[in-house]
Amino acid sequence: MALENGTLTRADLSEQVHREIGLSRAESASIVEQVLEHLCAALATGENVKISGFGSFVLREKGERVGRNPKTGVEVPIAPRRVLTFRASQMLRDRIVAGE
């Protein structure tokens, strides 16, 4: 699947589902939206998401810490927050390195 601008979009995913499975474009778009919505909902409730052969989306809690403004050197407190990280599976890493 060659992408014009180097970005894979929802429309690209829907089109690929349409081509591969043969569902209508509307049904394909609905499936892609449902999958993305389910993924977002799981992450929003604090669940980690693992997609076998692709990777894991993991939520981490970062505690409060002191940061420094690089321009002025003034110390500033950084509030605690949740961050989302992605860790690619070994299978995905191997495919990326091989250039597939």
**What is the SS3 assignment for 69?**
coil
Region 38-64 average pLDDT? 95
Task: State residue 23's pLDDT score.
Answer: 92
Hey, which residues does 58 pair with through a beta bridge?
85
Q: Where along the chain do its domains lie?
A: 8-46, 48-100
1 Cβ contact partners less than 8 Å away, ≥ 6 residues apart = 8, 12, 16
pLDDT in tens, 19-34: 999 999 999 999 999 9
Q: Give the amino acid at 10.
A: R
55: exposed, middle or buried (Cβ count in 10 Å: 0-12, 13-18, 19+): middle
Region 53-64 average pLDDT? 95
Tell the CATH superfamily of the 48-100 domain: IHF-like DNA-binding proteins (4.10.520.10)
- What is the b/e burial string over 75-85, where b = at least 16 CB atoms within 10 angstroms of the residue's CB? eeeeeeeeeee
Question: Rounded to an integer, what distance in angstroms lies between the CA atom of residue 54 and that of residue 97?
Answer: 14
